[in-house]
Amino acid sequence: MKRTFLTLLAITFAALSSSACDDTADSLTNGQPTGGTRTPQGPTGGDDGYHHNDGISAPGSGEEVVDPVQVRVVGSPEVTSRLHGCGKMTVASLDHLLRSRGLNGGGQRPQGAQSGRQIFDARDTPAALGAANYDGRVPEAPFSSTSAISKMFDIFTMAAYDAVAENWEAPACPGVRLLEGGKFTRDGLTCLMGKPATEEHVAIANDAIAQNPTDGAKIAIAALLAAAHTCQ
């Protein structure tokens, strides 16, 4: 009985979570429609070049059917329109992040392990990151897929080895040190995050070092990079 209740609870939570993401669900398939009568194909699809839909509301005129549940969970269209979404960092931006923040594979890492830069440069990485496929009329994905987030985290995890290197230098942050006396500097974290770091960021990152003097700094950097750059 208890298990059934927990299962139902989990399903309910999952349903609410997915409804919260309704307006961006298509993005997880690079803008391809996921089915349903209200999501006819865009110009990307259809072998015959046209598609029959049964659209019933005037398009683009504010007469879209609004699901009351969605309004309750994520807000009305006007509210959601005025809030920043969680856009994916572009492949070019990620490339620039690695270059400008001194994360180009210069750190000491475990034998045989790839650097963040090497993972980024791998042939299959652009597709995993949602790069455009213009031959297929597919633009760069505006939102992260699971594979994109996973790949970015792989990159950030290994890039952390570069950031903790003694000779770390970020071209975009001249003169800035990330670690001084075994502790993170606020400017260093600001550099990595691309926005002003708070004292809270510094404290939590230094706490990682206190917890694990060997790998804590790398773990903190990977987590900070992932948290800061998961959304554009």
Which of the residues 104 through 133 are near another protein (CB under 8 A)?
132
CB 129 within 8 A of CB 150: no
Residue 61 phi/psi, 5° resolution?
Answer: -120, 20
Using CA atoms, how far residue 117 sits from 101, 102, 188, in Å, is: 12, 10, 20
- Of the pair 3, 135, the CB lying nearest another protein is at 135
Name the one range near another protein by CB under 8 A: 102-110, 116-124, 177-185, 190-198: 190-198
- Of the pair 4, 78, the CB lying nearest another protein is at 78
Place of tokens 């993401």: 21
CB 196 within 8 A of CB 190: yes
> Which tokens sit at 163?
């950031």
Burial of 149 (0-12, 13-18, 19+ CB in 10 A): middle
Using rule CB under 8 A, residue 169 touches another protein: no
Least separation in angstroms between CB 169 and another protein:
12
Name the one range near another protein by CB under 8 A: 5-13, 112-120, 122-130, 167-175: 167-175
Interface residue with another protein among 68, 110, 112, 181 (CB under 8 A) is 68
- Of the pair 119, 191, the CB lying nearest another protein is at 191
Name the one range near another protein by CB under 8 A: 62-70, 122-130, 161-169, 177-185: 62-70
Interface residue with another protein among 35, 110, 174, 181 (CB under 8 A) is 174
Interface residue with another protein among 3, 4, 5, 54 (CB under 8 A) is 54
Place of tokens 């006396």: 181
Whole-number Å distance between alpha carbons of 151 and 154: 5
